[in-house]
A and B are shown apart, each in its own frame.
Chain A
């Protein structure tokens, strides 16, 4: 039998290749995908998050863990889907607002959310409010993530939030904001539901907003 603690260790240490190998071995042994995710992988990511918050590891290690988690999920989720099991814990549309071409922060957040079991629809950069509304409506998303890296583009986040109110969708979707110049105060000022300043805290914030423990 496969030693499943090695799966936990592989995710924790961000070793994608090992995570994939152990996941495949575990499945060959008859392990249930959901059990692997719940009992080993999510717990490993929880420990990764704890170490990151305590500044024992830093962004690269956080991303490596998320990458390893995603690599295993890519094996497990199709199996779960084929047996009718739920494969994501929430759906998120994410994008960088109009006028802003930066995408690294957005991509980090998207990657961590995917690694933690969310379905992420990344609509890209330089997106206007209509596109955000259209995407959330089309995908029936639970959460919208808005990113901006410039002080000149961050006010557009309020334009997007106002567009959701105008479209009658504001109470249907939680909206979180982030990016270098964005602060918790600014998020509250423009009526966002949440704010995060790291990819890790974005996961925590989204889980809190959706009541996921």
Chain B
């Protein structure tokens, strides 16, 4: 268990992911001016982006079809209302990794500076870049978690975050309470917004018989999920 900074070059950032997030696919590519702005931004990322990642592995168990109880430290348990999809994805788990990943405070400061240029195109691109960086940081974290668990003979499920798959965003408070005292670099506002803004928290299950199941967007009933909304 530890939380640490990584270099921008270490995260598996893919420009194609950024294009995809903006809607480009197939034959469509961004305008040359847009590409030039993105190139300029990427050029400074090694200086202004210090992602911070980490996880804490805790004991726990799936207690019914919609809940997981994890060790919150100090002998107490934390009951997570993860919903059917996530709970099923982890029903073979013996341990649970509670994680955070953030593009970092330095990136946030850079983002604010870009926003103060009052150029809406740059602002949008910088925000999109931050979202892709945060997801790439999660990918790096999961690779390292999988390697650590493999050394113990454990397999790891996909990762899930509050706000998705019927898991309410307010549950983020419980997750971060488990990481209380860790230097995650993240704070939570009363409305469950993470600061720095380009941050992700979540859970992954680990165990000898854990399987990596596909994400269940097709069966999720969460009306206000960004990944699900367009299918309604």
Q: Report if A102 contacts B (CB, 8 A).
A: yes
Check: A181 CB closer than 8 A to any chain B CB. Answer: yes
* Main SS class of interface, B: loop
Specify the chain B residue showing the minimal Cβ separation from A13: B31
Contact indicator B124/A99 (Cβ below 8 Å): no
CB distance from A59 to the nearest CB of B (A): 6
Please report whether the interface of chain A is mostly helix, strand, loop or mixed according to DSSP.
Answer: loop
Q: 1/0 contact trace for A64-86 toward B, CB 8 Å?
A: 10110000000000000000000
Please measure, in the bound complex, the distance between the C-alpha atom of A121 and the C-alpha atom of B168, giving whole angstroms: 33
State which of A23-31, A36-44, A136-144, A182-190 sits at the interface with chain B: A182-190
Chain A, range 108-153, C-beta contacts under 8 Å to B: 108, 111, 150-153
Instruction: Assess whether B225 is in contact with A59, with CB atoms less than 8 Å apart.
Output: no
CB-contact partner of A150 in B115, B191, B225, under 8 A: B191
**Interchain CB contact under 8 A, B120 and A66:** yes
* Complex: chain A residue closest to B23, CB-CB: A58
Complex Cα distance, B125 from A154, in Å, reads: 25
Cβ of B158 under 8 Å from chain A: no
Given contacts A99-B189, A150-B191, A153-B191, contact A60 B197 (CB under 8 A): no
Contact across chains for A182 and B224 when beta carbons are under 8 A apart = yes
B40 contacts the other chain (CB 8 A): no
B225:A181 contact, CB within 8 angstroms: yes
Q: Cβ of B163: which chain A residues have Cβ within 8 Å of it? A: 151
Q: A99-B191, A151-B169 are in contact. Are A186 and B224 (CB under 8 A)?
A: yes
A-chain residues with CB within 8 Å of residue B225 when the two chains form the complex: 181
With both beta carbons as reference points, the residue of chain B lying nearest to A154 in the complex is identified as: B224
Q: Which of B24, B169, B197, B223 interacts with A183 by CB under 8 Å? A: B223
A101 interface neighbour in B121, B127, B189, B232, Cβ under 8 Å: B189
Considering residues A61, A101, A102, A104, which has the most beta carbons from chain B within 10 angstroms of its beta carbon? A104
Determine whether the beta carbon of A150 is less than 8 Å from that of B120. Answer: no
Min CB gap B175→A, angstroms: 14
**A60 CB contact (under 8 Å) in B30, B168, B170:** B30
**Size bin of chain A's contact surface:** 20 to 34
Q: A181, B226: Cβ atoms under 8 Å?
A: yes
Contact flag A152-B191 (CB < 8 Å), given A63-B124, A108-B120:
yes
Contacts of B170 in A (CB 8 A): 152
Q: Which of A60, A150, A180, A185 contacts B124 (CB 8 A)?
A: A60
A204 within 8 A of B: no
**Given the complex, which residues of A lie within 8 Å of B197, measured CB to CB?**
101-102
Query: Which residues does A use to contact B, with CB under 8 Å?
Result: 13-14, 55-56, 58-61, 63-64, 66-67, 99-102, 104, 107-108, 111, 150-154, 180-183, 185-186, 197
A-B residue pairs, 8 tightest by C-beta: A99-B191, A181-B224, A58-B23, A111-B120, A60-B34, A180-B226, A104-B127, A151-B169
Between A and B, 11 residue pairs with Cβ closer than 8 Å are A55-B23, A56-B28, A58-B23, A58-B30, A61-B31, A61-B34, A101-B197, A108-B120, A151-B168, A181-B224, A186-B224
Given contacts A58-B24, A61-B30, 17 further A-B contacts (CB under 8 A): A55-B23, A55-B28, A58-B22, A60-B34, A63-B121, A64-B33, A100-B193, A101-B189, A102-B193, A102-B197, A104-B127, A151-B224, A152-B169, A152-B170, A180-B229, A183-B224, A185-B223
